Amino acid sequence: MEQEQTVENESKPSSVKSEAWEWIKALLIAGGLVFIIRTFIFSPFIVEGPSMEPNFHTSERLIVNKILYDFRAPQRGEVIVFHATEDKDYIKRVIALPGEKVRVEGDKVFVNNQQLDEPWLKQALDDAAKKGIPYNTRNFAEKTVTEGSVFVMGDNRSNSADSRDIGFIEYDRIVGRADIIFWPMKDLKWIH
């Protein structure tokens, strides 16, 4: 009987060490996965400022897909996050693609001399028209988007530092596409 008790006592410290080692391995793997996912695949982003209203608001938190543009180029209408300066990222909407001619005249945006349909601004444009005021007060003379770049604008056209000010956005400055608003919870949605 004593011998059995001794065997049980000897195995307990070993099982505690084994369980602790399993927890350490699990935490290291989880930490590694979080690092890989945040560095290469998805990243959180916080909206700052009014430049994307009425569709995005200050303090909303987004999930940015960082890997998508490794497989394909940005497309018109997508909302992207990019490095505006060395320490500042912006969120804007892709309006024109490489090689396209773009110009802005009041509330109308033209790409290759065709007025762009912007369903994401329909309500804001209709509201401004009902009040008899222009939604956009900043025009842009026609230019051709350079290769490897996009022309971006904020949804709040009169109050946005975008390609009209900072120029075309090169692909290598793009962090990724905004895919999900996840905070606040009442605004949780996929971004189309």
189 is catalytic: no
User: Which tokens is 87 given?
Assistant: 């320490």
Catalytic residue among 66, 92, 149, 163: 92
Pairing relation of β-strands 114-115 and 88-96?
unpaired
Does the bond joining 74 to the residue before it have cis omega, within 30 degrees of 0? no
Q: In residues, how long is the chain?
A: 192
> Helix (H, G, I), strand (E, B), or coil: what is residue 175?
strand
The answer to whether residue 59 is catalytic is: no
* C-alpha pair distances (Å), 28 with each of 18, 22, 51: 15, 10, 40
Given 14, 15, 17, 51, which residue is catalytic? Answer: 51
- Residue 188 identity (one-letter amino acid): L
| Enzyme catalytic residues | 51, 92
